[in-house]
Amino acid sequence: MPIVVGHDSTKTRKTLTVGGQSVDYYSIPAAEAAGLGDFSKLPASLKVVLENMLRFEDGKTVSVDDIRAFAEWASMGGKNPREIAYRPARVLLQDFTGVPAVVDLAAMRDAIISLGGDAEKINPLNPVDLVIDHSVMIDEFGNPRAFQMNVDREYERNMERYTFLKWGQSAFDNFRVVPPGTGICHQVNLEYLSQTVWTDTDQDGKTVAYPDTLVGTDSHTTMVNGLSVLGWGVGGIEAEAAMLGQPISMLIPEVVGFELTGQTVEGTTGTDLVLKVVEMLRKKGVVNKFVEFYGAGLDHLPLADRATIANMAPEYGATCGFFPIDNETLRYLRQTGRSEDRVALVEAYARENGLWRGADYAPVYTDTLSLDMGTIVPAISGPKRPQDYIALDRAATSFHKYVEGQRAAKDATVKEEVRWEGEGGQMEPVAIPGDEGHHRRGRVASGDAGYQLHDGSIVIASITSCTNTSNPYVMIGAGLVARKAHEKGLTRKPWVKTSLAPGSQVVSHYLEAADLQKDLDAIGFNLVGYGCTTCIGNSGPLEPEISACINDNDLIGVAVLSGNRNFEGRISPDVRANYLASPPLVVAYSLVGDMNVDITTDPLGVGKDGQPVYLKDIWPTQKEVADLVAETVTRQAFLSKYADVFKGDEKWRGVQTTDSLTYDWPSTSTYVQNPPYFQDMGPNPGTISNVEGARILAMLGDMITTDHISPAGSFRESSPAGEYLVDRQVPVREFNSYGSRRGNHQVMMRGTFANIRIKNEVLDGVEGGYTKGPDGQQTSIYDAAMAYMDQGTPLVIIAGEQYGAGSSRDWAAKGTALLGVKAVIAENFERIHRSNLVGMGVIPFEFSAGDTRKSLGLKGDEVITITGLDGDLKPLSEVPCRIDYADGSSKEITLRCRIDTAIEKEYIEHGGVLHYVLRNLAKAA
């Protein structure tokens, strides 16, 4: 399907000839020559957006004034928050967020028919790739059968979803599915799908070159910015609108320049670097901003490390973390199998259009900060936020303080603590380092002996996630640590669940080529699958006796993972403290099995020669790692592994589906149901109404993440979602996860605000998805919401700072809307979730004038009324809010309405962005 470009009133369309091929492109220097302004000092990341304006300028959606605004941005010192309409080149989905997106498209086909429109109008206009990567769960581990058994269970659990996705692949144009077992979407995007400079034909049949851009329904879509591809995460709702040709409404962002100097020193990894970057940028405050990396340090930073830094943009809060095109970009494109013609086009286009980072690259930034990479030290982050950076030599002390805080909070003290080490009958008590009486313990029977677990026992050590498994330097490093540990006679502790889930099949190729997989296998890091696994909460169950010991004794179990997320309740229901670490450190911690041990000074264990083994004894040099990377990470490996990327294995090819324009919704399915969004929808929008007499469904603290709002992991039989499935004769073993059931609104509504660690301040000292119902009694949030809905009572959510941080899951907004919540009032919002709320017709508000839930004395039994919405509401207006307290008093405050743009106001009027698109498509039929 051709791209529809603007009419080029600015005369900026030019022709570029490279490698015997001529392509048209939209020239930024030509825009300057046409008198539209000086764009020479714009950061490369913003020039990508500017090119988008030039290409789609039509005098309506994009105007010449929008283009001039970019020159004003530079002259005003990096600020000009003008609203623009941005159109990404393509959309990337993963299956957790992609299934509900396809569900919505299928429901829209039904709805447009009921409105008298044409079902074929509901088709992606931009290329869409969906990668199935979130579904594999680690049921089996630590043995050669693990991979095949986990794949078999994946298909058993998810056949309904896979059948539905295969239907979508045949029913919708411009929509491709990358089958299970291929890799993580961001790594597949980085290694194969992305081109850095994209080409397509326009409506006149001419080839046009332009920057490769995308949005994705996973927050870590930002990873591809390491390859100079501008991309970020959006909710499924916004992605669906982009698929259907709807531009993304956004403000011209501020761009923070992050200067990197020097180079990393011996003993450190790209993971250590990114954890420091996350800490620095969180402190700086970069929400809703682009971050662009520059400086001489980039000359020493391989693209794998750049991708690691770009990947974690959601963790440091930025829209994206962009790296301009340079020689390293070209080297990576060539190594990963892109054609020589494409590599030549990327270089020529970047130089011609001012996107090249050369020695003279010195743009204007809104603000800057700097880091000497030579100061980086080994580090981890945790126990529950990615930005909680800890130098490795402080990790044990930091954990001990965390335990003290947790135990002091519960006023629980257990004295004379010991832990047990040894194999078989040779287990001996050893004092816990630094113990001051706050640790708990419990014994696990194992064979003839057993072992003692205690606060700090590491029960999960997982090499996982797109962040690190895309990086051959840390993956080869992990393999070398495993080799040296195995040679010295060390192995994982028996209570540690170990796993290796590479981001693509290429990783397995080079680990095997380097003869390192056998060493990883020897200490328990067998291949368990290609997918997100532990990082998304698919860590699978712990051994029953270990789980029972942790829960029966209220132990603080620990997970160490090479992921990007460690929020409460995400990794495993049995684990309370989660630490992010490089893959080599994950291996090292599995050998110790104890977070109380300082692995920088204490021995990791005793070798087969009877001598203590220290971390320094098994840590590889940078040269050892670099030599193996150069030898085994080859262009041929990428070409061979991606040759049949859409074909899949025999199981995928055997999935049967129907060939029909609309989906025949199976009434008995517990995975895929026709959602209620478009029921009884008329052809015309409504108006925005005031929020009258609303009750508070939940009152939440700071840093409430989308994991808290819409969990992705497992759930219990006693939960509302569990009860729903049990009522439909689904055995507990087949519950799967919230993430896998996102195609069923009935499950997801019941899972909204149901995280086991969420704390609703309406109740005192209660964890989990509970609140007070209309009768004032404690009940589940779902049951309370349904009771209020029966009474016709609207609901609000009250929250603190950084509300909606973390993953870009649309169900955090969808579930909120379906529970009857009309408004969310927070101190501030993270970017993606605020947009998703608007997209679902829920209005976000921010407290103003220093007000907070605490300063206002809110307890959760107040009645909230927000007015000023039913008139001529302007974007970012301040509106009055009355709080009626239970004692009969009341207070008037002012809220800032976070409907940020004019188009967002229209979305709210229509009831959501999909309703807006659907009505427009129906009228155009």
Q: What is the pLDDT of residue 447?
A: 52
CA distance 911 to 343: 45
CA distance 391 to 450: 33
Q: What is the pLDDT of residue 432?
A: 42
pLDDT 10s digits, 573-615: 899 999 999 999 999 999 999 999 999 999 999 999 999 999 9
List C-alpha distances in Å: 561 to 144, 154, 232, 776: 21, 22, 24, 41
Find out if CATH 3.30.499.10 is the number for domain 416-633: yes
Q: What are phi and psi of 804, to 5 degrees?
A: 85, 25
Other Cβ atoms less than 10 A from the Cβ of 288: the count is 18
Which residue, among 401, 354, 308, 343, has the nearest Cα to 48 in the 3D structure?
354
DSSP assigned state of 527: B
Going by pLDDT thresholds of 50, 70 and 90, the confidence category of residue 406 is confident
CA distance 709 to 591: 35
The residues of the chain that CATH labels 3.30.499.10 are: 90-375, 416-633
The residues of the chain that CATH labels 3.20.19.10 are: 691-924
Average pLDDT, the chain: 91
Q: What is the pLDDT of residue 39?
A: 97
* Domain 90-375, CATH homologous superfamily name and number: Aconitase, domain 3 (3.30.499.10)
Q: Which two tokens stand for residue 155?
A: 């298909």
Query: Which residue type, as a one-letter code, is found at position 99?
Result: V
Going by pLDDT thresholds of 50, 70 and 90, the confidence category of residue 7 is confident
Q: Which two tokens stand for residue 326?
A: 């340079």
CA distance 29 to 40: 8
Check: CB of residue 133 under 8 Å from CB of residue 528: no
Q: What is the pLDDT of residue 530?
A: 84
Going by pLDDT thresholds of 50, 70 and 90, the confidence category of residue 421 is very low
Residue 400: pLDDT over 90: yes
Q: Of all residues in the chain, what percent carry a pLDDT higher than 90?
A: 73
Q: What is the pLDDT of residue 2?
A: 74
Q: What is the pLDDT of residue 181?
A: 87
Residue 632: pLDDT over 70: yes
Average pLDDT over residues 250-261: 96
Residue 218: pLDDT over 90: no
Q: What is the pLDDT of residue 419?
A: 35
Query: pTM of the prediction?
Result: 0.84
CA distance 46 to 254: 9
Q: What is the pLDDT of residue 438?
A: 52
Higher-confidence residue: 470 or 318? 318
Non-local (6+) Cβ contacts of 111 within 8 A are 678, 681, 918
Average pLDDT over residues 640-661: 90
CA distance 236 to 234: 6
Q: Where are the alpha helices (DSSP H) in 387-456?
A: 395-410
Give the lowest-confidence range in 221-235, 318-332, 398-412, 631-645: 398-412
Q: What is the pLDDT of residue 228?
A: 98
Verify cis geometry, omega within 30 degrees of 0, for the bond prior to 383.
yes
| Residue 720 parent element (H or E) | helix 720-727
Other Cβ atoms less than 10 A from the Cβ of 712: the count is 26
Query: Which residue type, as a one-letter code, is found at position 239?
Result: A
pLDDT 10s digits, 356-395: 999 999 999 999 999 999 999 999 999 998 889 999 999 9
* Domain 691-924, CATH homologous superfamily name and number: Aconitase, domain 4 (3.20.19.10)
Q: Is 894 helix (H, G, I), strand (E, B) or coil?
A: strand
Residue tagged 């300063």 (tokens) = 855
Residue 418: pLDDT over 70: no
Q: Which two tokens stand for residue 303?
A: 């693209």
Q: What are phi and psi of 739, to 5 degrees?
A: -60, -40
Give the lowest-confidence range in 422-431, 905-914, 916-925: 422-431
Give the lowest-confidence range in 128-137, 436-445, 690-699, 833-842: 436-445
Other Cβ atoms less than 10 A from the Cβ of 504: the count is 25
Average pLDDT over residues 687-691: 96
Residue 424: pLDDT over 70: no
pLDDT 10s digits, 557-580: 999 999 887 877 788 889 999 999
Residue 426: pLDDT over 50: no
Going by pLDDT thresholds of 50, 70 and 90, the confidence category of residue 762 is very high
CA distance 846 to 799: 9
pLDDT 10s digits, 843-899: 999 999 999 999 999 999 999 999 999 988 999 999 999 999 999 999 999 999 999
List C-alpha distances in Å: 362 to 261, 358, 385, 491, 729: 15, 9, 34, 50, 64
